[in-house]
Amino acid sequence: MGKIVFMFPGQGAQYVGMGKDFYDSFACSKETFDKANEVLDIDVKKLCFEENEDINITEYTQAAMVTASVAILKKIEEMGLKPDLTAGLSLGEYCALVASDVMSFEDAVKVVRQRGILMQDTVPAGEGAMSAVLGMKKEAIEAVLPDVEGIVTIANYNCPGQIVISGESKAVAEAGEALKEAGAKRVLPLKVSGPFHSPMLKPAGEKLLDVLADVEVDDPTVPYVSNTTAELITSNDQVKELLGRQVYSSVCWEQSIEKMIADGADTFVEIGPGKTLCGFMRKIDRSVKAINIAKVEDLEKLKEIM
């Protein structure tokens, strides 16, 4: 058997009720939610478990997502399954850092709370936008964007046929029209509160470095893949710098998955709400195994790989 990857979803996979069955069923998961409420200025349990509008607002979403995903991770660890590599899509990288023992959960959730506020507040509402570009090769998209006036860049290389662009609202709209003319099947505007993973968020990334200044980061006990470089990280030298850059750089998810497969990974376990990453896996490489653990009943799937 090849290497096992623990991978964690990013913002957008959240929903009311996420992690509730784990909280109700397992002491280690309950402890994760309790810890989040202790160290944060918001009620994460209420955010995750009770109907509310805040769960989709960036400054709240990020802490809620990381808490729910790590609560599930703790149960999987308790069952005795260990990864050989970890990775997370954008925000999910903080869960990968917890799984690789680079950062404590308490520090990770405190950092993402600040990260969410910085990302929410850096660009005034309405000035930035993001769109998903479907059915077009990344090289073709990369060829069109430089001709568009204003700031618009690739935010996410999710999988073949699904790329996300980000930047100034007008430039993103113009790029969408240009991409459709150049052969994109569809361009879908995303309901987001800012131009994430674009140069417009550079001030947020730089301020995040101040937040990270006093946070202890250790060498990974298992390598993790940085979204920003799609490279395996095996020491703590670059961790903070890469997390700062990640806020305003492209998320190289497809490239990250390819890197791990080249490194011998053949089993991918998506830990956290939804199953977005398993969907991407089917388009990146169908030959590897991918399972998602979002609900307590999903733990049954782990029997296949333990």
Place of tokens 């150049």: 182
Could you tell me the strand order of the sheet in which 162-168 lies?
152-159, 162-168, 128-134, 186-189
Q: Which of 69, 90, 166, 250 is catalytic?
A: 90
First to last CA, the chain: 11
CA distance 173 to 53: 27
Sequence-ordered list of residues with C-beta below 8 angstroms from that of 239, at least 6 positions apart, any chain? 97, 102, 103, 217, 233
Q: Find out whether 157 and 90 touch, Cβ atoms under 8 Å.
A: no
Angle between helices 58-78 and 105-121 (to 10 degrees): 160
CA distance 157 to 143: 15
Q: Which of 29, 69, 193, 197 is catalytic?
A: 197
Task: Determine whether 197 is an active site residue.
Answer: yes
Task: Determine whether 100 is an active site residue.
Answer: no
CA distance 60 to 24: 22
Query: Which amino acid type is present at position 150?
Result: G
Active site residues: 90, 197
